[in-house]
Amino acid sequence: VVKFLRDIRMADLLKQKLVARYRRTCSASKSMRKLFLFLGAGVGLIELVKAVQTPSINGTLFELLSAMIAAGSGCFINQWPDAEQAVLAFKLAFFISLIQLATFATHLNGDIMLPNNSWPLGCFFFVVSWGLDRYMLHTLNRTLKVIAELGEVMEDAQRKTTSGKKSKRKNEQKRITKETGEQPLIPESKKDR
């Protein structure tokens, strides 16, 4: 029993450490989301300034695509205003990223003329923010899974110890019954005591 209590205390301490890690992970996730929102705003602003300064209509549209991707990625990474709209922002940013990559590929082939300093920065930002979001979700899910598994192990250990006590109690009752021939007055559970 003493060993079991020690194991329960250790498991409970481990569970508390895991919950603390989960909280730190959530806090770090929020900080990273805010940082990427700030970076997305910077990318969007840079692309808007480049769009205004670009003389050709193709270059202006290309830079505006980057600004829209940065805005959509910012809404997606910050989960704003809620999860359903964040998924919509993700889909929008993904679709616009495909359009921008197709435009950039045709520019590289020479079919469309873009200014020399045009790069699909919005698309790069979207890919990095998508990867960051996947990493954060993976970390959170892994921590939650470990906490749940630890809870199951603790419940199993507690069940085994409780069933062991019941079998000892039944064996004691059988021994007394054999010796005296009468049913002993040993309570079956804590409720009977």
Mean pLDDT in residue range 112-128: 88
Task: Give residue 173's pLDDT band: very low, low, confident or very high (50, 70, 90).
Answer: low
> How many angstroms separate the most distant Cα atoms in the chain?
106
Task: Enter the pTM of the model.
Answer: 0.68
Q: At what angle do helices 57-77 and 121-180 cross, to 10 degrees?
A: 20
Task: Give residue 191's pLDDT band: very low, low, confident or very high (50, 70, 90).
Answer: very low
Distance CA 67, CA 54 (A): 14
Neighbours of 41 (CB within 10 A): 13
Cβ–Cβ under 8 Å, residues 112 and 103: yes
Q: How far is CA 24 from CA 57, 87, 104, 155, 182, in A?
A: 47, 25, 40, 26, 61
Cβ–Cβ under 8 Å, residues 72 and 89: yes
Q: How far is CA 113 from CA 45, 56, 85, in A?
A: 23, 9, 35
Mean pLDDT in residue range 76-97: 84
Give the percent of the chain with pLDDT over 90.
13
Give the percent of the chain with pLDDT over 70.
76
Cβ neighbours for 150, distance < 8 A, ≥ 6 positions apart: 11, 14, 15, 18
pLDDT: which is higher, 168 or 66: 66
Tell whether the model's pLDDT for residue 60 goes beyond 50. yes
Distance CA 160, CA 180 (A): 30
pLDDT: which is higher, 33 or 60: 60
